[in-house]
Every structure is written in structure tokens, then in C-alpha cells.
């Protein structure tokens, strides 16, 4: 078959993209919810605010923080449950028996997830600028935000793949990824309790998550102001190490062994 | 030689699911029917060859597992899109631009199913979908594991006819697991008989028939009247409702036939009945084990 020799093919990419959009959860939690939450929070805060300059910075800060929900919902939850469901049905093994190696499926899936997230962020940005009036960034701020989102999404992919491959059951994977989704949102300060108001133990865990810095500090980066990136980088490195190890273990575990 | 198996053992926990002690070889162009009751180790054998289950022993082949094609007992696909896109993704080609694929789709009358999602296909359509994909792999060695299980008689018969016709005069080697002996009569030229994870026998159909049943076998209903007619002839092991007489020579066969015809008894004559081979091979092995 021709696609054996090529990692990315139009047919495989189209297949994986249809797989991504065929999952209703990502439309609800990955597109609808971030837009809805962003507008809802900004509108409710705006009603209590008199000063328009403060509103703009608050709205931008909320916009940047809520953006992290997109990779968490589309990749962590969406890909996680979809992959677990496929594993439960034996679909990846069936694909492998047709000569579609797991690496090929994964590469096309990553690309398909990337395309979907690009579209989701497009809608999110359109809503942000069209409805709540997000402030325009400095080029450096925009580039760093994009870079952070790409890296964070990659980590969410590793985490989702690892969890789904370990559990291999739709229901339990759905439960675990949903819990993580809300834990990340709570610790990231997106659910009403800001980092400063969290108890000490919660702050300890919150400091380990990139989403905390994205939600709390990114306005400073967005506007090109001076910012100490070290804690944020450390949180990315920690999450990257954990998710990378998880992915490595599960990929090695799932390899077809020849004797 | 395409594939050889030596001292193969597969264990699931404490239980030995498969133990092949005698060397077993698959030659190029072989059509091997694998028979045995549930739990005999048929699917385990296929999974071992494909590297899907851990085993001890040696499976030697110049083919890599991904160069073999397999129709598993259960095949599932995503339900997020019509099967057309699954087909195109797996095969890495567009249906519209692939004449061979179009030929197969048309051969298996699958055109109207292309727009349907996998779960919306009937049992027979699901089997045909995987068969098309398997055939498109054009592999030197193809496994069909209970390809017609769960299908009604008519669909099953039609599917096997299509398979037989497609593989006629083609060099592909096939390993076909089936509980339906008539399918293997059409598709297989060799038999691998498994029982409780062990090989009872392996060889050409004709040789196995001669070994266990003789020259020909005459089968009638098992009733008192028929038992008295066949009293003096050698009986073979058979299902309880049937009576099977072994005929070692043509004269003996003619004698039995004449006797049954004269008495207006319905009978079936065969020199390749796989069910009789299987039953008698098992009975022979059971006898050997008892005598030990």
C-alpha cells in the first residue's frame, strides 16, 4: 500500500481530522466553553467596573487564561477519550495489522489536532476581539503566547495518550481526564479562586502547572512588559518531564513484539 | 518455504493455550484450513504468527508481520465517518483513482455501503469491508479468522463463493480458520487440526482423509435399520445422529452403495469430508492417549 512509505498522507490526515471533529466533546468543551466562559466572566466583571482601562486589561487577562482551556479540552479530554475508545475497540491494532504503524497514526493525529486547535483559536480570538475587546499584543507577547500554547498542547497530547493507553477504557479515561481538566482549571485560577487566595497546599501544586502562569501572568507578557519567566519555564519543564516519561512508557509497552 | 513453526508454546497465565511440538511448515501457495473446537488455539496461533501475543519457541518467516494480511474474528473501525474515508486512509489511495480497488468494491457489491458508517453496516457488509481492505494488501500470506461467523447461510455461502473465485489461480497463501467445514472444502487444500492447544494432525486434505477415513466414506442416518445394513462394515467415528462406514476399496464402496440403494436408504458418499476427518482424527488421538 502506498501510504506505508509516507508519514503524512492526504487520506490519513483527512481521516484523523474527521476523527477529531467527530468527537462532540471537543466542540462543547474545546470551542463553546472557553468562548462562553470568557464572555460570561468579562460581562459580569464589567458590570461592576467603572473604569474602562481596567476593564480592558482584565478582559485581556481573562481571554489569555481561558485560552488554555482549548488544548485542555480538545487534546487532553478530546484525544484522551477518543483514543481510549479506540483502544477499547481494538482499532489501533486493526490499523497496525493493515500496516498503518502507530507512529503514522500519531503523526497524522497530532497534525489533525493542530489544525482543529488553530480553527478553535481562530473562533476564540474572533470572539475575544469582536465581543469583549481584547487589547492588542506586542509581537513578542503574541509569539510567546503561541509558543506556550503549542508546547502546552504537546504536553496535553502526551498526557492524554499516556492516560488512555494505560487505562484503555472509555469510561474511566473520560473520568480521569475530566477530573484533570477541572483540577487544572481550579489550580490555574480559572474557576473563581485566584492564586493569591488559594490555601498554601493548593498554591504549591498550582506553582507546578504552566496554566497558573498563563492565566495569572500572561497579560504582562502579552503587553511586552518585563517578566521573570523562570517559574513558568520550570513548570513547563516539570510537566514536560512527567508527560514525556508517561508517553515513553506507554509507547514502549504497546509495541508489537517480535520473537 | 514461507513460514515455519518449531516448539511453539503460548501461555495465558498458568494455562497453556497452544503447544506445537512437531515442526510445522507453510509453503508458498498453501491454502490451509485450521479446524478445532472453541479454545483449541486457532486464533492464538494466528496472533502468535502476527506478533500480537507473547510466545516461547520459534516462528521463522521472511515476511514481517505487517507484510501479512489478516481478517480477524472481530474487526472494529471508527464510527466518526463513512467507511469510504476509512478505506481511503488505510489504503492510502482515493477510490476514484484506483481501478483495482474499484474492481474489488464492485466484485463484493459494496458500492452502496461506502457512504454508511461502520456500525450502520450489516454483518455481511462489515465482513466484506474488511475483506476488501485485506485483499488490497495483496499479501503473500493472508489469514482469515472465522470470516463468516455470525452470518446467515445465504450470505455466508455467497461470501465464500466470492472468496474462492477471487483466490482461484492466484499465488497467495491462505490460512483460514473456520467452524464451517463446507467452506474449507472450497477454500483449503491442507488441514491443521487443533484440539485443546495441541496439533492433532497437519497435512493435505486427501492424505488426512485416507489416513483417518480410508478411500471413501458412506454416511447414513443412525437408525436401527441402517445399523443392521452396515453391521459387517468398518464404522468410523461420527456425530451421534449419523452412521459412517469406511470403504477401503472401490468394490467395497460399490457393495455398500448397492445395498443401501436396494433398500431405498438415503446416503452420502464422500472422499474428502472434512467433518469426518476431524472427528476421526480426534477419536484416533483420544484412543492413542487412552492406550498410553
Helices (H) and strands (E) in chain B, counts: 10, 14
Whole-angstrom distance, CA of residue B212 vs CA of residue B200: 12
User: Per residue in A210-254, pLDDT tens?
Assistant: 999 999 999 999 999 999 999 999 999 999 999 999 999 998 887
Q: Are B222 and B242 in contact (CB under 8 A)?
A: yes
N- to C-terminal Cα distance for chain B? 35
Q: Where are the domains of chain A?
A: 2-253
**DSSP string computed for A169-223:** -HHHHHHHHHHHHHHHHHHTT-SS--GGGS-HHHHHHHHT-HHHHHHHHHHHHHT
Distance of CA B274 to the CA centre of its chain: 10
Q: Where are the domains of chain B?
A: 3-205, 208-291
Q: Are B273 and B209 in contact (CB under 8 A)?
A: yes
The C-alpha cell that represents A168 in the structure block: 484503555
Q: Are B121 and B129 in contact (CB under 8 A)?
A: yes
Q: Residue B220: what pLDDT?
A: 96
Q: What stretches of chain B adopt beta strand conformation (E)? A: 3-12, 15-20, 24-26, 31-35, 56-61, 68-71, 141-145, 173-177, 190-195, 198-204, 216-221, 235-236, 242-247, 268-270
B131: CB partners within 8 A, 6+ apart: B71, B108, B147, B159, B163
Residue A28 has pLDDT above 60, yes or no: yes
Residue A257 has pLDDT above 70, yes or no: no
Say how many residues make up chain B.
292
User: Per residue in B112-152, pLDDT tens?
Assistant: 999 999 999 999 999 999 999 999 999 999 999 999 888 88
Give the Cα-Cα-Cα angle A252, A92, B158 (nearest 5 degrees). Answer: 145
Distance of CA A243 to the CA centre of its chain: 13
A108: helix, coil or strand? helix
Question: Which of A146, A115, A161 is CA-nearest to residue A21?
Answer: A115
Helices (H) and strands (E) in chain A, counts: 13, 0
The listed CATH number (3.40.50.300, 3.10.580.10, 3.30.70.20, 3.30.565.10) that belongs to domain B3-205:
3.40.50.300
Q: Are B215 and B192 in contact (CB under 8 A)?
A: no
Q: What does each of the 292 residues of chain B score in pLDDT, given as a tens digit?
A: 899 999 999 999 989 999 999 999 999 999 999 999 999 999 999 999 998 899 999 999 999 877 899 999 889 999 999 999 999 999 999 999 999 999 999 999 999 999 999 999 999 999 999 999 999 999 999 999 999 888 888 888 999 999 999 999 899 999 999 999 999 999 999 999 999 999 999 999 999 999 999 999 999 999 999 999 999 999 999 999 999 999 999 999 999 999 999 999 999 999 999 999 999 999 999 988 888 7
Q: What are phi and psi of B120, to 5 degrees?
A: -85, -5
Q: How far is CA B278 from CA B89, B192, B290, in A?
A: 41, 10, 18
Taking the Cβ of residue A100 and every Cβ of chain B, the question of whether any pair is shorter than 8 Å is answered with yes
Q: Are B7 and B58 in contact (CB under 8 A)?
A: yes
β-pair partners for B8: B20
Q: Which of residues 12-51 of A touch B (CB under 8 A)?
A: 12, 14-16, 18-19, 21-23
Chain B contact set for A259 (CB, 8 A) = 51, 54-55, 57-59
Whole-angstrom distance, CA of residue A146 vs CA of residue A152: 10
Question: Which of A103, A1, A8, A100 is CA-nearest to residue B93?
Answer: A1
Q: Residue B287: what pLDDT?
A: 87
Nearest to A257 among B51, B74, B86 (CB): B51
CATH class, range B208-291: alpha beta
Kindly determine whether residue B76 and residue A98, on different chains, have CB atoms separated by under 8 Å: no
Chain B contact set for A15 (CB, 8 A) = 81, 85-86, 88-89
> ipTM of the predicted structure?
0.86
Q: Are B167 and B71 in contact (CB under 8 A)?
A: no
| Mean confidence (pLDDT) of chain B | 94
User: Per residue in B263-282, pLDDT tens?
Assistant: 999 999 999 999 999 999 99
User: Per residue in A70-88, pLDDT tens?
Assistant: 999 999 999 999 999 999 9
Q: Are A34 and A188 in contact (CB under 8 A)?
A: no
Count chain A–chain B contacts defined by CB atoms under 8 A.
91
C-alpha distance from B135 to closest chain A C-alpha (Å): 10
Pairing mode, strands B141-145 and B68-71:
parallel
Q: Residue A4: what pLDDT?
A: 52
Taking the Cβ of residue B88 and every Cβ of chain A, the question of whether any pair is shorter than 8 Å is answered with yes
Question: Which of A188, A166, A153 is CA-nearest to residue A77?
Answer: A153
Q: Residue A31: what pLDDT?
A: 95
Chain A contact set for B76 (CB, 8 A) = 89-91, 94
Taking the Cβ of residue B78 and every Cβ of chain A, the question of whether any pair is shorter than 8 Å is answered with yes
Q: Residue B177: what pLDDT?
A: 96
Taking the Cβ of residue A4 and every Cβ of chain B, the question of whether any pair is shorter than 8 Å is answered with yes
Nearest to A18 among B50, B81, B90 (CB): B81
Q: Residue A5: what pLDDT?
A: 61
pLDDT > 90: percent of chain A: 83
Chain A contact set for B88 (CB, 8 A) = 11, 14-15
Amino acid at each position: 500500500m502506498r501510504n506505508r512509505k509516507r508519514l503524512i498522507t492526504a487520506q490519513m490526515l483527512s481521516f484523523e481530522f474527521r476523527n477529531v471533529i467527530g468527537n462532540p466533546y471537543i466542540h462543547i468543551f474545546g470551542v463553546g466553553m472557553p468562548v462562553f466562559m470568557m464572555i460570561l466572566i468579562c460581562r459580569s466583571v464589567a458590570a461592576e467596573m467603572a473604569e474602562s482601562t481596567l476593564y480592558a486589561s482584565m478582559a485581556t487577562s481573562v481571554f489569555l487564561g481561558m485560552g488554555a482551556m482549548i488544548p485542555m479540552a480538545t487534546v487532553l479530554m478530546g484525544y484522551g477519550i477518543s483514543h481510549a475508545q479506540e483502544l477499547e475497540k481494538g482499532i489501533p491494532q486493526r490499523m497496525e495489522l493493515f500496516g498503518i504503524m502507530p507512529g503514522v497514526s500519531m503523526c497524522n493525529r497530532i497534525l489533525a489536532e493542530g489544525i482543529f486547535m488553530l480553527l478553535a483559536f481562530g473562533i476564540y480570538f474572533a470572539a475575544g476581539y469582536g465581543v469583549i475587546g481584547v487589547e492588542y499584543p506586542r509581537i513578542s507577547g503574541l509569539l510567546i503566547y503561541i509558543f506556550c500554547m503549542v508546547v502546552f498542547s504537546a504536553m496535553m497530547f502526551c498526557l492524554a495518550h499516556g492516560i488512555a493507553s494505560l487505562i484503555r477504557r472509555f469510561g474511566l479515561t473520560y473520568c480521569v481526564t475530566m477530573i484533570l481538566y477541572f483540577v487544572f482549571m481550579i489550580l490555574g485560577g480559572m474557576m473563581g479562586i485566584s492564586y493569591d487566595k488559594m490555601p498554601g497546599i493548593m498554591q504549591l501544586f498550582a506553582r507546578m502547572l504552566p496554566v497558573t502562569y498563563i492565566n495569572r501572568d500572561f497579560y504582562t507578557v502579552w503587553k511586552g512588559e518585563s517578566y521573570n519567566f523562570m517559574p513558568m519555564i520550570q513548570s513547563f519543564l516539570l510537566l514536560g518531564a512527567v508527560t514525556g516519561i508517561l508517553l515513553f512508557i506507554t509507547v514502549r509497552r504497546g509495541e508489537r513484539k517480535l520473537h | 518455504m514461507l513460514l515455519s513453526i518449531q516448539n511453539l508454546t503460548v501461555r495465558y497465565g498458568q494455562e497453556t493455550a497452544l503447544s506445537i511440538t512437531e515442526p510445522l511448515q507453510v509453503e508458498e501457495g498453501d491454502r490451509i484450513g485450521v479446524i478445532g473446537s472453541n479454545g483449541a488455539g486457532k486464533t492464538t496461533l494466528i496472533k502468535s504468527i502476527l506478533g500480537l501475543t507473547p510466545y516461547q519457541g520459534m516462528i521463522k518467516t521472511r515476511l514481517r508481520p505487517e507484510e501479512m494480511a489478516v481478517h480477524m474474528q472481530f474487526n472494529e473501525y471508527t464510527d466518526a465517518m463513512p467507511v469510504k474515508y476509512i478505506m481511503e486512509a488505510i489504503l492510502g489511495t482515493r477510490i476514484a483513482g484506483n481501478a483495482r480497488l474499484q474492481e474489488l468494491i464492485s466484485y463484493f457489491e459494496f458500492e452502496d455501503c461506502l457512504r454508511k458508517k461502520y456500525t450502520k453496516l450489516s454483518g455481511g457488509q462489515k465482513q466484506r469491508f474488511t475483506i476488501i481492505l485485506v485483499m488490497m494488501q495483496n499479501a503473500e500470506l493472508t489469514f482469515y479468522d472465522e470470516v463468516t461467523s455470525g452470518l446467515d447461510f445465504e450470505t455466508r455461502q455467497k461470501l465464500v463463493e466470492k472468496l474462492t473465485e477471487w483466490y482461484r489461480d492466484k499465488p497467495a497463501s491462505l490460512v483460514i480458520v473456520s467452524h464451517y467445514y463446507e467452506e474449507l472444502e472450497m477454500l483449503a487444500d491442507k488441514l491443521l487440526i487443533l484440539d485443546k492447544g495441541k496439533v492433532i494432525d497437519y497435512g493435505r486434505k486427501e492424505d488426512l482423509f485416507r489416513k483417518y477415513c480410508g478411500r471413501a466414506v458412506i454416511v447414513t442416518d443412525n437408525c436401527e435399520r441402517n445399523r443392521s445394513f452396515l453391521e459387517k462394515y468398518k464404522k468410523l467415528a461420527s456425530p451421534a445422529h449419523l452412521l459412517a462406514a469406511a470403504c477401503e476399496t472401490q468394490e467395497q464402496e460399490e457393495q455398500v452403495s448397492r445395498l443401501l440403494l436396494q433398500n431405498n436408504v438415503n446416503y452420502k458418499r464422500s472422499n474428502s469430508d472434512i467433518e469426518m476427518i476431524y472427528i476421526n482424527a480426534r477419536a484416533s488421538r483420544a484412543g492413542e492417549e487412552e492406550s498410553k
